[in-house]
Each structure stands twice: as structure tokens, then as C-alpha cells.
Structure 1
Amino acid sequence: MSSPSVVQLKPFLQPFPYGRNGMQSWAAQYALATPSLKADIEKDGGIKDTQPYGEIWLGSTHKNGPCSVEGTDQSLADLIARDPSFYLGQKLIGDEQMASQYPHDLPYLFKVLSFDKPLPLQCHPDKGLGARLMDEEKRREGKNENFVDSNAKPEVGVALSPFTAFVGFRPPQQLATIIKSVPEFQELFQDATLQSFYASAGNASEDEGKAALRSLFHEVINLKPATFKPVVQKLQGRLAKEGADTVFAAANAFTPKGDANASGETEAAAMQRVFEISLKTYGEEDVGSIAALVLMNILRMRKGEGAWILADDLHAYVEGDIIECMANSDNMVAHGLGTEEQGGISTFVQMLSYRHLPAEKLLLEYEDKWKQGRKGLTRHYKVPIAEFDLLATTLTSSQPAEELSALDGPLCFVVTEGNVRVTAGSESVTLSKGQAGFVRANIDISLEGPGEVWGAFYQ
């Protein structure tokens, strides 16, 4: 049996509840682009107008959403297992960390998300905690449903359309100024906790800052609806009467600059917008709505801008259509914004990194005219995560072709615009918008458009 260098993939559609409904979801649109997946969906009654479709997994060997080779019964995992060295490359196979965590497997999971409701307030455990949570669930439930692997799950999200996200904690001095200016926020915490936080916010060391943020998060995430619901209602009433730029006036001094605020909103306007979206979706008795609003950075990104999130970092995407890539894991600890205590609140509080960078520092760096794109049409995203990097290639009618020098590891990709012929060695596939593919390691790749291609790869 031959070993193809490039194949079209059959993705895996995930109808997660935060997704856009029906054909409004890019995940649903992309699913219908692949003939075999479209046939499966039509057998099940088609795309349903009232059903949310949150994600489509485009490059996945994970058991929760495995991709297969289009036109065959073979999974992507089985294709790779036929000849791991050929498909993954010697550099990946010989990487001690990768070999330990992802033996003879893809080290990443490549997706498109399409959502208009906030995802759960969440973080992803590191490898040690992931293994513990997996063992605890198996003992408690007799099987694993929420924790099905022990890998860490650092990730990035890059906007395909305007994208809003909660990512990480505000820096302590910024946060102290905002809490002092909003009486409703002060009602969420014990006076002693606030006074201690105020005293340390201006000159705390990194560890002291994290400890102070842990105290605040512990108090707010453990609040009961009877305590925080009146605060939420009071805040809603004052926003309706006075407006965001009055209620959250102090926050405007911390409006992110440049690409971290591509929408051009004031910080106050962004706070009101995400608060209203959260409340509309999950109601006044979901603690995530107020916890995220008070404590977290709000990023507003345009197409091509992205954020990076390490294991144990707090985050919750709010709305947008994005490329998401992560280490090959599906672990999540969460509470709030539609999720009740997945992994336990105490674990949630203890595990967080309490990273507190300004919003501008959370953006993913990239390099246009990447040197491995010989025609200068490829952007390389410098992902601070060992498992993968990202690329985006734009092919126009005046510059319709790109040549990528051989990558050290495998490439999973999706066409997001146009029709693109992808050639690896002597083999080619032509894919249209929404279709995905896989290219083995260590082979030159040619792209012919016009069109747009996004991909994840090990390098």
C-alpha cells in the first residue's frame, strides 16, 4: 500500500453549545464543504437552524474528535501509524518531550471555532495535574468523560473575524484602580482582602502579585448567587442610567493600545459589551459573568491578530470566528459562563498561573514574508509553545503561487478562501473553502490559488 505525502481530511464537527446557530456557524459551513462529512450530516437531518455548532476539528488524532482521510475508512491516526518516521519526521520523533507526551502522534490539535456566546471560564491543566484529574475521575465515575488524556493544553487563538476574548488577569495596579472606582465591584470582596490587595498592588513582587490575585479570585468564584446577583442587578441598572463611560470611567485609562484593541472601543464600552453578552447567554446567577468582568483583560482583535495561552492560564473566549491550535489534549477545568465545577472549584483556584500581563503583552507575534515561504506570501506566527507553530498564506490573482520549504514536522491545514491546489512532491490535492488537508514532514510544498490557507505544523 502506498504512503501518500498529501491527503484531504474529513474533519470532525463539534456541536458545542456556545457556537453560532445553524448555517451562521463557520464550523457548520466548513463541515458541509467535505463530501463525506456532508453526507453524514444529511443522514442525520442536516444542519439545524436552532442547533449551535461551536467547533470543527480540522487536524486531529484525538479520540474526542478524530479526523480521517477523505474517501477512505482510514483515520489520520492510523495513516500516521503506518509509517511514523515518514509522516512525522525524525526531528519530531527524536524530540524527547514530544516522544514522551505524544508518542508517534501529532503533538497538536488544529481547529476552527465559530461562536457568539462566551466559552466557559476555564484553564487547562499542566501534565501533572492532568494525570491526577484523569485518575480521580476514573476512580469516582468508573470511566473518563471530562479528562480523557494527561497532556497539557497550551493554546493560541487567531482571529478570522473580529474576535473578543478574556485572557489572563489585569495587572494588580490597574485592577486596584478599577475596583476602587466601582462600588459594585467592592461589594464582591471582604474588606480585609481588598485593603491587603490595595496595599500591595503598587509595589508587589511577581509572586506577591499572584498571591493577591489568588485571594481575589478565590473569593469571587466561590460567591453564591444570593450574594452576587443583587450586585449584578445594581450594576446593570447603573449602566442603563449613567452609561459605561461613567460607571467604568477609571478603566478607560487602561484601554489597550493597537492590536489588542483593534475595535477601537474604550475599555468601558468593551466591559459593558462583554457583560451584556454574558448575562444574555447565562443569566444573572452565573458567577462567571461578574468574575471575568472584574478581574480579566479584554482583548479585541481583528483578522490575523491572536493571543497565546499557556497551561494554567485563565481565559474565556467571548465571540468571533477563529483558528485555534493547542497541544494534543482536550482537558479543561472550568466554573462559570455556562459550566458548573468541571474539575472542582478548589482545583481551579489552586492551579491557575495568575499571570497578569497588560493586554498588549498577550498578543501572538508574527513575521510576514517568512523565509520558508519562497515567494514572500506567508505569515509565520511565533508560537511560544513547543508543540506547534502556525502559518497563513494569502494567494491573490496577481500573486497566485507560494512555495514552502520542507517543514521539519507534519502540516495540517485548511483553505479559508478560494480554491487552492496543494502539491507535495509529485502528489496534489485541490481543496476549496472549508476543506482541510495533511502533508507529511520533510517535503517541499507548493500552493496555487488564488485563495487563503492556514496551517499548524511542528518545527
Structure 2
Amino acid sequence: MNRLTNTIRPYAWGSTTAIPELLGTAPTGEPQAELWMGAHPGAPSRIDRGQGPVALDAVIDADPAAELGEAAVKRFGPRLPFLLKVLAAGAPLSVQVHPDLAQAKAGFADEEARGIPIDDPARNYKDANHKPEMLVALSPFDGLCGFRRPADAADLIDGLGVGALAPYADILRAHPEDKALREVLAAVLSAEPEATAATVTAASEAAARLAATDSPYAADYAAYAKAAHSFPGDRGIIAAMLLNYVRLQPGEALYLGAGVPHAYLDGLGVEIMANSDNVLRCGLTPKHIDVPELLRIVRFESGDPGVLRPEAGSDGEELYAAPIDEFRLSRYVLAPDATARALDPRTPQILLCTAGRAELRADDGDTLTLERGESAYVPAGERTTLTGEGTVFRATVAA
């Protein structure tokens, strides 16, 4: 088992205080958006086994079977199939969607064949993998997840009292769900930005006013108004109004599968995902939006956001169940007088302490103490127990 040294990504939407507070460090005054834990080549964690710090992806590349276990290598290939993060949103992230595995493979192959450089801003597929993800809130966390029922979206839009939006509400009420959602999203994203800026501004101002009323959509309007403050005039504000607004309380989670449009708005959380960079955006961003490809990938079906709560097991592990094999996320809430928790050694794992203190003990007696914000990597096959007083998240793969 090895302590991880991790990289903080300074994206513009990041909070200036949340990650420093978690780590017990002084804020720099600059945004600190994501703390990465894993072997993603973009910012791999580093470990020290006595010869100085080495990137975790290089350690795994040197002997995948020893680090990941032969079963994991056979199923997922010779690389860690997940990336764990602490995500700190101080401003909204883009509204986005991720492809499924078949779409990612086909899209990546097509762009490679057409010779589009991997760093081209207009490129959609950075790799041939899908990117299902899950976020567990560490603080109250605001987000958008999946489409509202079309009639509900029509009522919310009508409530703004902005005449230019009335045709969208009419479409949402007049057509079957798939056609209605597709037609409205296509119309919003295909409109000329300059032509829609005044409508977006009027809608944003109305949302800000209605957030202080007894409207059944007051909390939703407040979220859209806050997003509009960061992206004034952005047509993605209207697209966002088609989505469910959700506020997670600490410990609650969202699972985001392929084709589901979503956005994180504000808060601190633990995020885990398959190892991919494939993102198609549909608003709240200055980056490229490929409307035809986006419309091909999005699943135009409404539904409840599906807030998840952990399922307690007999061994004290609380599992956030997800229909994916590349990652498995759980947590332990440790009490000082509790029996040591034995961790399943069959798979590689990353352990992150988010509150209090945790102690890892290997079979040979070696120990490693994790303070709040610290993390460790445990290779497959290493038997480890967990004790302490605090909260520890365990990221691994399905055994």
C-alpha cells in the first residue's frame, strides 16, 4: 500500500476554498477544481516505493498483472479502468453528455481516419472508451440530471412569462416525448447565439425574480439564474431548463450513464468514472458544440434523477450500487471501537479519507495513516485492514 501524491486541476469553474479546506491547506486565491487520484495519463498520481516518486501509470505499465490482478487485466486491459476525483464546483460546469462504448469506439475510429488532431478543439472523441460516472456529495451539491417530463418542462418555461419561449412550450406539449425533447433541444442549440441572447437574458431575469416567490419551481429557477450569472446570454440556459434540477445532501449520489445530459452546478463531491475524456457539450460553455453529433448521442427520454443512497453490508461497507464493472464505489464510516474492516484483496483499490483519520494495516504489520484529504493505492492481492474514526471512500472494480 502506498500513499498517493495527487494533482489539483485549476479549471476556471473550480472553487477557491473547498479543496484547500478538505486538505487543510491555505487557499491560493485561484480556482481549484479537481483533485485526481489514479493512473490517468493526463495527471497520474505518484507513489514512492523507496526509489523516489514514480507516476502510478508507469508503475502499472511495468507489471499490470502484479498491480491490477490477472482477472482485472483480462477484463479491462493493462490499465487502471477508473479515475477517482474530488470535484469542487464554484461555478457551473458545461451541460454535457457522454457516449456509450460502441459510440465511443466508432466515433474515435472515424475521427482518427479523418486525421483530426487529438488536441483539435472541434474533436469529440479523445479515446475509444465510454465515460459512465458517479458523484457522491460531500456538501450540499446542486446539479442537473436527465430530462424533465416534457409537460413539466413546458410548465416551467411558461412560468417565466417570456413570449419568445412559448413555441418551445407548445412543442413540448404537442409531440411524443422523444420527438418533443429532440426538436426543442435542436432548435435551441441551432439558433444563432446573437439572435437568442435577448431571449436568454429575459428568461434569466425572470428566473431570478421567481426564485424568491412561492412558485413550485422556485428552487429550479434559482439554479438557472445562478448558472446564467456565470454564462450571461448563453443559449445553454434554455437547454438546461429541459433538465431535472437536483440538490444532493451529503452522502447522496447520482449515477450518470451514457446519453444522459447533465451538469454540476455547485458543491463538493467525490466523483468516480471510467477512464475516458469523451465529452459532448450542449451549453454553458465557450467550447465547441457539435449539434448533429450531440443529437445522435443524447437519449431523449425523461425520468427521475435517481438519487442514490448507500446500501449497508454486514461488514460495514456501504456500497453505491451502479450498473457498471469498470468502477465500484463504497464508503466506510469508521468508529474507534469497531472491529477492523478487512478489505477484499482481489482487485486494485484507491482509498480516500474525507473526514477524521483512518489507519491501513497490511498483513506484514506495515501501517499507513490517512488524514482528511489523503489517499492511498493498494495493489491487487495485498491484504489490508481498515480502522480509525472518520469516513473513507473505497474505489475499485467489480470483482
Q: Deviations over 1:395-426 (max 9, x none)?
A: 23443x53134243211121112221112322
Question: RMSD between aligned alpha carbons?
Answer: 2.6
* C-alpha spacing 1:238/1:164, structure 2 compared with 1 (3 Å): closer
- Contact kept, 8 Å, 2:357 with 2:390, in 1: the verdict is yes
Q: What is the CA distance between 1:431 and its match in structure 2? A: 1.7
Counterpart code for 1:151: N
After superposition, residues 22-421 of structure 1 pair within 5 angstroms as: 24-26=17-19, 28-29=20-21, 48-49=28-29, 51-58=30-37, 60-70=38-48, 72-95=52-75, 98=76, 103-134=77-108, 139=114, 141-144=116-119, 147-184=125-162, 187-188=164-165, 191=167, 195-200=170-175, 204=176, 209-239=177-207, 244-245=212-213, 249=215, 252=216, 268-283=217-232, 285-292=233-240, 294-342=241-289, 344-359=290-305, 362-368=306-312, 370-371=313-314, 373=315, 376=316, 378-399=317-338, 401-421=339-359
Q: Deviations over 1:315-341 (max 9, x none)?
A: 100000000000111221114212322
* Unaligned stretches of 5+ residues in structure 1: 1-5, 34-45, 253-267
Q: What is the CA distance between 1:444 and its match in structure 2? A: 3.6
- Contact kept, 8 Å, 2:147 with 2:303, in 1: the verdict is yes
Q: Deviations over 1:339-390 (max 9, x none)?
A: 3225x2221222111241123xx2225212x13x2xx3x3111122221111
Provide the C-alpha distance between the structure 2 equivalents of 1:179 and 1:142, rounded to a whole number of angstroms: 40
Provide the C-alpha distance between the structure 2 equivalents of 1:30 and 1:80, rounded to a whole number of angstroms: 28
Counterpart code for 1:269: A
Structure 2 residue corresponding to 1:12, chosen from 2, 7, 21: 7
- Contact kept, 8 Å, 2:23 with 2:372, in 1: the verdict is no
* TM-score relative to the length of structure 2: 0.89
Provide the C-alpha distance between the structure 1 equivalents of 2:66 and 2:374, rounded to a whole number of angstroms: 24
Provide the C-alpha distance between the structure 2 equivalents of 1:334 and 1:177, rounded to a whole number of angstroms: 25
Which is richer in helix?
1
Provide the C-alpha distance between the structure 2 equivalents of 1:306 and 1:318, rounded to a whole number of angstroms: 14
- Contact kept, 8 Å, 2:153 with 2:169, in 1: the verdict is no
- Contact kept, 8 Å, 1:19 with 1:55, in 2: the verdict is yes
Q: Counterpart of 1:109 in 2: which secondary structure? A: strand
Q: What is the CA distance between 1:218 and its match in structure 2? A: 0.6
Q: What is the CA distance between 1:276 and its match in structure 2? A: 2.3
Q: What is the CA distance between 1:435 and its match in structure 2? A: 1.1
- Number of residues paired by the alignment? 391
* C-alpha spacing 1:417/1:213, structure 2 compared with 1 (3 Å): same
* Unaligned stretches of 5+ residues in structure 2: none
Match of 1:41 in 2: none
Structure 2 residue corresponding to 1:425, chosen from 358, 363, 373: 363
Provide the C-alpha distance between the structure 2 equivalents of 1:149 and 1:310, rounded to a whole number of angstroms: 17
* C-alpha spacing 1:345/1:442, structure 2 compared with 1 (3 Å): same
Matched, 1:456 2:395: yes
Q: What is the CA distance between 1:269 and its match in structure 2? A: 2.4
Provide the C-alpha distance between the structure 2 equivalents of 1:242 and 1:420, rounded to a whole number of angstroms: 46
* C-alpha spacing 1:393/1:236, structure 2 compared with 1 (3 Å): same
Counterpart code for 1:55: E
Q: What is the CA distance between 1:148 and its match in structure 2? A: 3.2
- Share of identical aligned residues, percent? 27
Q: What is the CA distance between 1:132 and its match in structure 2? A: 4.8
Counterpart code for 2:86: V
Structure 2 residue corresponding to 1:445, chosen from 362, 376, 384: 384
